[in-house]
Amino acid sequence: MGGLTDIPGILVGNAEDEGGRTGCTVVLCPYGAVPGVSVSGGSPGTQNTDIIRPGTAEYPVYGLLLSGGSFFGLPASSGVMRWIVEQGIDDIPLVPAAIINDLPYAEGSPPPDAALAYAACQAANAGPVPEGNVGAGAGATAGKIYGRPMKSGLGTASLCIPGGPIVAALAIVNPIGDVWCGDHIVVGALRPNGTFVNQTRAMLSGVPSTHLQTLNTTIAVVATNARLTKAEANRVAMLAEDGMGRAISPNHTQWDGDTIFCLALGSYTSNLTSDELVTLVGTAAAVVLEKAIIRGALAAQ
């Protein structure tokens, strides 16, 4: 599977702090995209999500920010706004954003700021997206209720449906839960002997937690070249949640701020009904998001 830049019109850029322990990832759409969002975690850190929900004004999105630094990272979106304005785009530079809490792993590094986000914009391109300890994935970890967490990171994947649209995903994988591939854990909480705890089983067995539930949240972007309305893009973001649920357990906890954005760039049209197209794209979005999460966890060093 490829990556998010397989969708024509999407650029991805990453930037990290000098220590490489936190950073930000930008997704740019210079020609605009129809947005959607699904927020399902109990502790979200987001910006400009209400205005991209159904029933609100029809503003296109030219850029998204995914950032480390917890809430301190949200102001970095002004760097993306500056980049959009400098491109001569006349519309309001609406920049939805979401953050992960990587503060303990970042070990006192300053959170991503406007200058770092602007640098990510300058680095953005349509080439293959690097995975692992890059961008907002620089400080990502997984498995934090029991045992010792493991390093995680940024992952991406895409799928071209034969005779249909392209659907892709990019994820910053920083969950409190373990990352699963099918029926086995690939990255998660470790016992002292290096074996996986299986946090879901431990929780359901009544084992007391051993750590503070911090340092969490998986944030993602799913995108497609299908032509969708804002309501349809929001529905696709919601359907993509299934992929996160298959790849992470426990998932969407009170200590995760799980957020999925959807971007529809609209170059592909079909003879499918609206319901058929949304179901097709949403099902594919769940598949590529699951793959992106697994890849992001496994690519980390």
Using CA atoms, how far apart are residues 217 and 231, in angstroms rounded to an integer? 25
Residue 72 has pLDDT above 90, yes or no: yes
Which of these CATH numbers, 3.60.70.12, 3.90.930.12, 3.40.50.800, 3.40.50.1100, describes 4-299? Answer: 3.60.70.12
Map residue 124 onto helix, strand or coil. Answer: coil
Backbone phi and psi for residue 300, each to the nearest 5 degrees, phi listed first: -70, 150
- Nearest Cα residue to 70 out of 22, 20, 141, 37: 22
pLDDT at 214: 66
Side chain identity at residue 64, one-letter code? L
Q: pLDDT, tens digit, for every residue of 165-206?
A: 999 999 999 999 999 999 999 999 999 999 999 999 999 999
Output 93 or 263, whichever has higher pLDDT.
263
Q: What is the pLDDT of residue 208?
A: 87
The predicted model scores a pTM of 0.96
Radius of gyration of the chain (CA): 18
Strands 150-151 and 154-160 come out as: unpaired
In this predicted structure, the answer to whether residue 116 has a pLDDT above a threshold of 80 is: yes
For 267, the 3-state DSSP assignment is strand
Contact of 54 with 256, CB cutoff 8 Å:
no
**CB-based contact 12:170 (threshold 8 Å):** yes
Q: What local confidence, expressed as pLDDT, does residue 213 receive?
A: 61
**Helix (H, G, I), strand (E, B), or coil: what is residue 291?**
helix
Mean pLDDT of 115-143: 97
Find residue 97's DSSP bridge partners. 47, 65
Domain boundaries, the chain: 4-299
Q: What is the pLDDT of residues 141-161, one digit of tens each?
A: 999 999 899 999 999 999 999
61-67 vs 97-99, strand pairing mode:
parallel
What is the reported pLDDT for 209? 82
